[in-house]
Chains A and B, each alone.
Chain A
Amino acid sequence: MAASVSVSVVPAAEGLRAVYTSGKTRTYEWRVSQLNAMLKIATRHEKDFVVALNSDLGKHEHEAFIHEISAVTSACRMALKELHRWMKPEKVKTSMTTFPSSGELVPEPFGVVLVISTWNYPILLSLEPVIAAISAANAVVLKPSEVAPAASEAMAKLLGQYMDASAVKVIEGGVQETTALLEQKWDKIFYTGNNKVGRIVLASAAVHLTPVILELGGKCPVIVDSDINLTVAVKRLISGKWGCNSGQTCVSPDYVITTKPFASKLVDAISSELERFYGKDPVNATDLSRIINSRHFERLTKLLDEDKLFGKIVIGGQRDKTNLKIAPTVILDAPLDSLIMTEEIFGPLLPIITVNDIRDGIDLITSKEKPLAAYIFTNDKKLKEDFVQRVSAGGIAVNEVTIHLTDPALPFGGVGESGMGTYHGKYSFEAFSHKKPVLYRGFTGEISARYPPYTTRKLKFLKAAMSGNIIGIIRALLGW
């Protein structure tokens, strides 16, 4: 079985390399044609994607459009608009050391790249990196997640239909196919997923010295201070947690930290807004995504049913095994060594940890691995500054959650356990480009001081030239 998998993967990779070497993908025209093809896919087949996402995740049309499809079309449009500018070499001012000279940074593709996607935003997290790779002129293989099979199939079909199949390929499959792919040599790999597989990807890439972007996850904390507009804060919190694929989102709030006196107010506010959003029977609310599969459903119920959490569930807790649904659930003061506080939750469970002083919240956060995002709701300027200074995370949002990743001006990526590298906006183009410095010189402007036989005077001159010391240069030239 493994042999036959390699049989299809190897020729695919080799074929792409031959096409890349022909130079086909380098032209502005090719890139634009592919971006337009992708735009067609996302606009003409929006309904197909909505259906696939509903099938895979029970994702509501609203989330499917706002979170996934519209982001894909925006990425295409931005790339089409900016491509000329991004492709242009960037002039660099050169210094005294290499005078006379001129310099520039020339962006060029890495070559043949691999994008490994994931299941929670299967369309977005597949197509956005592919758009990035294409705009930078790479040939690309996309490996969608097998855990979201309808989306995977839709993408394989549509990309096969609309894109240049000689340079853009979708390879579907599971662990075996992914392993076979990782054995090939790629010029760059872009992986979205968890940090266990992230390590495997890095280890495979090491063999070929392949640079990698890892978009992982982590426990994204939210500090909720007391002197705030609680209703707005809670609405945003809910939207970022349960309104994002039922919390199965890498940047969803994972847990909340607030002060002991404020906790009950917070819980009450969450409770009433949840009811406003999802009604009295949230387990059956169609606006809420279901849990992706029974394996994750079991994982999440195990977190909930741990003895340590007994008596601490203050909102929700209901579950429907047949339909793989878990109601929005809030747990108050789960012990810090409970499972729910040690692993990334990735689901509709929200622990609230209470502290005496809100500042202790920062200590708690920094005692854990660096998350993909960290959030704080506060009007206290000093607390805000402290948080930004001391908390290292992929990104931080103040008085907001998750939405920072929709702004194309901000790089999106992790740090430490939450990943390495970034994309979105122009960072997407840069993620898949090597910026090659080129220094241009003529045959004039000979600096004979460079050459042996070495003399003290030559030494003086060069030292001055290297530190941009004009007076020193003149003095050396005059023999002083």
Chain B
Amino acid sequence: MAVEAEAAARELRATYATGKTKSFEWRSSQLKAIQKIVSLHSDEIVEALRSDLQKPEFESVVHEISGVSASCKLALKELNRWMKPQKVKTSLITFPSSAKIVSEPFGVVLVISAWNFPLLLSLDPVVGAIAAGNAVVLKPSESSPATSSLLAKLVGKYMDASAVRVVEGAVAETAALLEQKWDKILYTGGGKVGRIVLSAAAKHLTPVILELGGKCPVVVDSAVNLKVAARRIIAGKWCANSGQTCISPDYIITTKDFAPQLVNALSAQLDKFFGKEPLRSKELSSIVNIHHFNRLVKLLDDDEVSRKIVRGGERDQSNLKIAPTIISGVSTDSLLMDEEIFGPILPIITVDQIEECVGVINAKEKPLAAYLFTNDKKLEDKFVRNISAGAMIINDTVIHFFEAGLPFGGVGGSGMGAYHGKFSFDAFSHKKALLKRSFAVDISARYPPYTPGKRRFLRAVVQGNLLDILRSLYSCW
């Protein structure tokens, strides 16, 4: 596997050196190839996602396939504009001159994907890498093997193998890849491996984008349209891969007084969405594997937690399914509030005053997303000003992911860097500063021998003070 990693890096580097991937034609041909993959093979993709995650067809199509398709479409539409150098207005100091910022690819990049949205989180970064003119190696997650193998097959079939390669495998293959030198790495996954990726990248001074996770809080104020709020929370939690989503609501904060109403509303909507026997619903993803299933069940069966379950708790080990579960009145030092849950369990923390939510959230690592349901402008303002997160939504959950005008990424423990839309192109581009001057005007004040007169002149130029410039021009050097 070390051989495969090394060969991939070497071959792609040779291809990149030819300049092939920089042309507009190559980039758009590859973007079109990705579009073909998701449109001509959507049935196989849905099948693979079903095999890996029991993901409902609806989620597969709306979250993953449409997501990739929309990214390709946007990139193809905007590529010319994105590739154009950006003219920049220069200052007096460099007068006369012209300047631009030129976007160029980093070179050969590595994308390491995750298992929960194995198609989207593989191809979306690849779209960005290609749009920016890089050669790219994609390492899909081994925890979603059907999708991984399908990606290897389809990318191998439709894309330019001399510059776009899928390398499958697990820990050993990933380690082998991380030993190679890459010009940029984009990693999606957990903080522990994120640190390993950063350490490996440090050896080669490789810049890295880390899309990690965190505990995404949802604060629910009382004077809200509770039905709509409940539906939107459910959509972001259980309609997104059974809560196995980096931006899923992880926990709720609401007031002690309001909690029972909120629980009732969530319960009522859950009935509407998944019926009375959610474990049998085809519209709920299963837990990805037995390891995560056991992890979640352990959380559920903790004494402190199990007696506070107000909804759900049922599980079906043979199908790796856990029902939508809500736990109310959880304390901030419970096991559930320790790590990112990444599953269909939703704890509710209750406070006396809703403003206390800021303290609760800020006591933890900065999350990838933070949500607030409220009609109170003051609370909204306080929330936005005082809490740092990768992103925020007021009165909804997760939907910012599909807004191409917003950069998607974390801060602090939830990651670094961002992508989506134009930010994907920027993520994989080096913005090279370019200054052009002619030989015409040459200011001898720069040159030795250094004299006070020259200094006076330069001081005036630096301060942009036209009068002083003229004055000093009249004194002799």
Complex contact B101–A66 (CB within 8 A): no
Asked if B14 CB lies within 8 Å of chain A CBs, one says no
Asked if B156 CB lies within 8 Å of chain A CBs, one says no
Of A94, A406, A443, the contact of B395 (CB 8 Å cutoff): A443
Complex contact A202–B446 (CB within 8 A): no
Q: Across the interface, which residues of B come within 8 angstroms of A209, CB to CB?
A: 191, 194-195, 198, 210, 212, 412-413, 415-416
Of A202, A206, A233, A441, the contact of B393 (CB 8 Å cutoff): A441
Within 8 A of A (CB), among B173-207: 183, 191, 194-195, 198-199, 201-203, 205, 207
Inter-chain pairs besides A70-B458, A105-B407, 19 sampled, C-beta below 8 Å: A62-B454, A98-B403, A101-B403, A202-B201, A209-B194, A211-B416, A211-B417, A228-B439, A233-B439, A287-B448, A399-B439, A411-B431, A436-B391, A439-B394, A440-B395, A443-B225, A446-B231, A458-B58, A462-B66
Asked if B323 CB lies within 8 Å of chain A CBs, one says no
Asked if B447 CB lies within 8 Å of chain A CBs, one says yes
Complex contact B462–A74 (CB within 8 A): yes
Within 8 A of B (CB), among A356-403: 366, 379, 384, 388-390, 392-400, 403
Q: Across the interface, which residues of B come within 8 angstroms of A411, CB to CB?
A: 101, 431, 433
Q: Across the interface, which residues of A come within 8 angstroms of B411, CB to CB?
A: 110, 434, 436
Q: Shortest distance in angstroms between A378's beta carbon and chain B's nearest beta carbon?
A: 10
Query: Given known contacts A206-B198, A390-B19, is B66 in contact with A397 (CB within 8 Å)?
Result: no
Within 8 A of A (CB), among B85-112: 88-91, 93-94, 97, 99, 101-102, 104, 106-107
Q: Across the interface, which residues of A come within 8 angstroms of B433, CB to CB?
A: 394-396, 404, 410-412
Complex contact A95–B405 (CB within 8 A): yes
Interface core residue of A235, A452, A466 (most chain B CB under 10 Å): A452
Asked if A7 CB lies within 8 Å of chain B CBs, one says no
Asked if B56 CB lies within 8 Å of chain A CBs, one says yes
Complex contact A214–B402 (CB within 8 A): no
The 3 A-B residue pairs whose C-beta atoms are closest, nearest first, are: A206-B198, A62-B450, A202-B202
Q: Across the interface, which residues of A come within 8 angstroms of B386, CB to CB?
A: 23
Can you list 16 pairs linking A and B with CB atoms under 8 Å apart?
A26-B385, A63-B450, A70-B459, A103-B403, A392-B432, A395-B435, A398-B437, A404-B434, A407-B90, A410-B88, A416-B183, A440-B394, A451-B231, A451-B235, A459-B58, A462-B66
Q: Across the interface, which residues of A come within 8 angstroms of B99, CB to CB?
A: 404, 407, 409-410
How far, in angstroms, from A236 to B239 measured CA to CA in the complex?
A: 63
Asked if B303 CB lies within 8 Å of chain A CBs, one says no
Asked if B309 CB lies within 8 Å of chain A CBs, one says no
Q: Across the interface, which residues of B come within 8 angstroms of A243, CB to CB?
A: 446-448
How far, in angstroms, from A440 to B393 measured CA to CA in the complex?
A: 6
Within 8 A of A (CB), among B363-409: 375, 384-386, 388-396, 399-400, 402-408
Complex contact B62–A462 (CB within 8 A): yes
Complex contact B66–A409 (CB within 8 A): no
Q: Is the interface of B mostly helix, strand, loop or mixed?
A: mixed
Query: Given known contacts A409-B88, A436-B392, is B438 in contact with A399 (CB within 8 Å)?
Result: yes
Q: Across the interface, which residues of A come within 8 angstroms of B203, CB to CB?
A: 199, 203
Q: Is the interface of A mostly helix, strand, loop or mixed?
A: mixed
How far, in angstroms, from A269 to B252 measured CA to CA in the complex?
A: 73
Q: Shortest distance in angstroms between B240's beta carbon and chain A's nearest beta carbon?
A: 10
Asked if A277 CB lies within 8 Å of chain B CBs, one says yes
Q: Across the interface, which residues of B come within 8 angstroms of A415, CB to CB?
A: 106, 430, 432
Asked if B339 CB lies within 8 Å of chain A CBs, one says no
Complex contact A438–B394 (CB within 8 A): yes
Write the chain A residue with the least CB distance to B234. A451
Complex contact B403–A277 (CB within 8 A): no
Asked if A437 CB lies within 8 Å of chain B CBs, one says yes
Write the chain B residue with the least CB distance to A198. B205
Complex contact B432–A397 (CB within 8 A): no
Complex contact B395–A442 (CB within 8 A): yes
Query: Given known contacts A98-B400, A103-B406, A287-B449, is B62 in contact with A400 (CB within 8 Å)?
Result: no
Complex contact B393–A416 (CB within 8 A): no
Asked if B244 CB lies within 8 Å of chain A CBs, one says no
Asked if B250 CB lies within 8 Å of chain A CBs, one says no
Asked if B159 CB lies within 8 Å of chain A CBs, one says no
Q: Across the interface, which residues of A come within 8 angstroms of B195, CB to CB?
A: 206-207, 209
Q: Shortest distance in angstroms between A384's beta carbon and chain B's nearest beta carbon?
A: 8
Q: Across the interface, which residues of B come within 8 angstroms of A98, CB to CB?
A: 396, 399-400, 402-403
Complex contact A406–B94 (CB within 8 A): yes
Q: Shortest distance in angstroms between A381's beta carbon and chain B's nearest beta carbon?
A: 11
Write the chain B residue with the least CB distance to A369. B205
Q: Across the interface, which residues of B come within 8 angstroms of A229, CB to CB?
A: 439
Q: Across the interface, which residues of A come within 8 angstroms of B290, CB to CB?
A: none
Asked if B297 CB lies within 8 Å of chain A CBs, one says no
Asked if A254 CB lies within 8 Å of chain B CBs, one says no
Complex contact B199–A206 (CB within 8 A): yes
Asked if B283 CB lies within 8 Å of chain A CBs, one says yes
How far, in angstroms, from A61 to B449 measured CA to CA in the complex?
A: 12
How far, in angstroms, from A436 to B412 measured CA to CA in the complex?
A: 12
Asked if B2 CB lies within 8 Å of chain A CBs, one says no
A62-75: CB near B (< 8 Å → 1, else 0) gives 11011000100110
Within 8 A of B (CB), among A283-324: 285, 287
Asked if A435 CB lies within 8 Å of chain B CBs, one says yes
Of A70, A384, A438, A454, the contact of B283 (CB 8 Å cutoff): A454
Within 8 A of A (CB), among B45-71: 56-58, 61-62, 66-67, 69-70
Complex contact B399–A466 (CB within 8 A): no
Q: Shortest distance in angstroms between A205's beta carbon and chain B's nearest beta carbon?
A: 7
Within 8 A of B (CB), among A411-439: 411-412, 415-417, 419-422, 434-439
How far, in angstroms, from A227 to B415 measured CA to CA in the complex?
A: 51
Asked if A278 CB lies within 8 Å of chain B CBs, one says yes
Complex contact A287–B435 (CB within 8 A): no
Write the chain A residue with the least CB distance to B98. A398
Q: Shortest distance in angstroms between A184's beta carbon and chain B's nearest beta carbon?
A: 15
Complex contact B393–A438 (CB within 8 A): yes
Complex contact B66–A467 (CB within 8 A): yes
